[in-house]
Amino acid sequence: MRGINFLSGCAAAIAVLGTSSHVTAQTPLVRGALQDVSPARLQSDVARLADFGTRHTLSETASETRGIGAARRWLRDQFQGIADATGRNDITVELQRFIQPPNYRIPEEVELVNVVMTVPGMLPEARDRVYVVIGHYDSRNGDAMDFEGDAPGANDDGSGTIAVLEMARVFAPRRLDATVIYMMSAGEEQGLLGARRFAQVALEEGMDIQGVLSNDIVGDPSGPDGRSAPTEVRVFSEGIPMYPESGEMNMIRQLAMESDSPSRQLARFLDDCARRYATDVRPRLIFRPDRFLRGGDHSAFNEQGFAAVRLTEVYEAYDRQHQDIRDVGGRPYGDTAEFVDPEYLAGVVRLNAAALGEMANAPRPPRCNIVITGLETTTTLEWNASTEPDVAGYEVVWRATTDWRWTHVEDVGLVTSHTIDLSKDNWYFGVRAYDREGHRSVVSFPGVDRQ
Ligand SMILES: [Zn+2]
């Protein structure tokens, strides 16, 4: 046994039991990316985006200064500038267009356009793995169908859109093993249209999307009545798949894995990264698919079976969300840029960046099983060996069945099975891979192998 650490950060336990601290282990690449996040740039970019007046999905596209067309051309140009500065010729920046037929919020056929930058992975064996960071660049005001009135959408979702842009800026010059897609979606407010289209095509084309981080309303930590949560952001994750495959619900019930979906492992991973990089903004994990009875772009990826989570500030200010700009008795309404806090937004971006840099550089999470040979008090896990050449080893993690996060970890080295002296009756287990620099993958939850 190489040493067991308590992830909870109990110093005495680490000193007695540990060989290295998993709580504070950081990699230079990710630490450097976090340092490059610029609150001043975030602030000016959010204000610039809000200045297009409205980015309603049905707003005009011919003007160079107002409407969703001008906004997306500006966003594309930002992406292109980032891509050009790298000197790489394999980065693509696209306006991905499709025709959206009428629906309850689309009165007549309209062209929708996602703004997408794809940065291929630098490790050939990892290039097929894709991570998506997404924010929706469309906006709305009090009337979901008002395509002419002002809808600056500074926070919803200018904040998430600019978060995506900033992540592209800090990571494009850096070497990531896996492929990252930076995406600004259209039509979220009209029914998740841009994200759904993208996710459907991705599934049809067999794109191996391993994780999606959707940032939607992440710029304003203050809420109504003086409430504020400047050091937290909510992370929503589904526990049960939206459209389970045949037999999947039965397996979830048999293995009691109703809180161990890939999306939930991704949410826990964000929490783990926040602890390791001591980010100013920490995730508050909410174990439900979204806010009560609501949905967002991550839901469109969940629909297709992809792991996807949503980040949203703790207190939403409804005076400023989906509101016409106006003043009622001295009380301002409307989603204007002055209410976006650049330091808070930078904190959310750093949290995203910690997770993105870690999972894109770590080896693919192993497919693992709990091996059953008979009744026994120990637990044996086995997993497939990584095909990525920089894999340096694996860690087994576990937690009590009532715990929300992984609390224990054992570094088991470069092996493909391990027996641990704890009963699978009483604990949940998982396996993750790490590379030579110490980037760790998202935890993989085991199935069963009856021998
Ligand atoms: Zn939104």
Percent of the chain clearing pLDDT 70 (strictly above): 95
Across 121-271, where does the E strand assignment appear? 129-136, 179-185, 208-215, 232-237
CA of 243 to the centre of ligand 1 (A): 23
Measured between alpha carbons, how far is 417 from 427 in angstroms, rounded to an integer?
Answer: 18
Q: What is the pLDDT of residues 430-440, one digit of tens each?
A: 999 999 999 99
Mean pLDDT of the chain: 94
Question: What are the structural domains of the chain?
Answer: 4-27+365-450 (2.60.40.10), 37-361 (3.40.630.10)
- In terms of DSSP bridges, do strands 308-313 and 232-237 run parallel, antiparallel, or are they unpaired? antiparallel
Two tokens, residue 156: 């919803």
pLDDT digits (tens, 9 = 90+) for 7-40: 443 333 322 233 445 666 899 999 999 999 999 9
Check residue 24 and give its pLDDT.
67
Distance 409 CA to ligand 1 centre (A): 37
Mean pLDDT of 200-211: 98
What are the tens digits of pLDDT across the range 51-101? Answer: 999 999 999 999 999 999 999 999 999 999 999 999 999 999 999 999 999
Taking the centre of ligand 1 as the mean of its atom positions, its distance from the CA of residue 159, in whole angstroms, is 10
Confidence at residue 317, expressed as pLDDT on a 0 to 100 scale: 86
From the CA of 140, how far away is ligand 1's center (Å)? 9
Residue 195 Cα to ligand 1 middle (Å): 12
Identify the pLDDT of residue 166. 98
Q: DSSP assignment of 251-286, as one string?
A: HHHHTT-TT--HHHHHHHHHHHHHHHTT-SSEEEEE
- Please determine, for residue 197, whether its predicted confidence score (pLDDT) is greater than 80: yes
Encoded amino acid at 241, one letter: P
Ligand 1 centroid distance, CA of 136 (Å) = 7
Cα of 200 from ligand 1 centre, angstroms = 20
Average pLDDT over residues 398-423: 96
Tokens of 3: 């040493």
Q: What is the mean pLDDT of residues 170-196?
A: 97
| Residue 360 CA to ligand 1 centre (angstroms) | 26
Q: Which two tokens stand for residue 153?
A: 């959408």
| pLDDT surpasses 80 at 279 | yes
Residues 6 or more apart from 35 whose CB is under 8 A from it?
A: none
Kindly give, in sequence order, each residue whose CB lies less than 8 Å from that of residue 113, ignoring residues fewer than 6 positions away: 72, 95, 96, 97, 98, 186, 194
Collapsed DSSP state (helix, strand, coil) of residue 347: helix
366, with CB counted inside 10 A (0-12, 13-18, 19+), is buried
Question: pTM for this structure?
Answer: 0.95
For residue 250, what pLDDT is reported? 96
Q: Give the 3-state secondary structure percentages of the chain, helix then strand then coil, rounded to 5.
A: 30, 25, 45
CA 431 to ligand 1 centroid distance, Å:
34
What is the predicted pLDDT for the residue at 21?
55
CA of 420 to the centre of ligand 1 (A): 45
- Distance (Å) from CA 1 to ligand 1 centroid: 47
> Which range has the worst mean pLDDT, 65-69, 181-185, 203-207, 333-337?
333-337
Summarize the confidence of residues 374-400 as an average pLDDT.
Answer: 96
Measured in angstroms, how far is the CA atom of residue 297 from the centroid of ligand 1?
8
pLDDT at position 353 is 98
Q: How far is the CA of 40 from the centre of ligand 1 (A)?
A: 23
Backbone φ, ψ for residue 48 (5° rounding): -60, -45
91 Cα: distance to centroid of ligand 1 (angstroms): 27
Report the pLDDT value the prediction gives residue 25, as an integer from 0 to 100: 87
pLDDT for position 154? 97
- Burial class of residue 10 in the structure, from the number of CB atoms within 10 Å of its CB (0-12 exposed, 13-18 middle, 19+ buried): middle
Cα Rg of the chain (Å, integer): 22
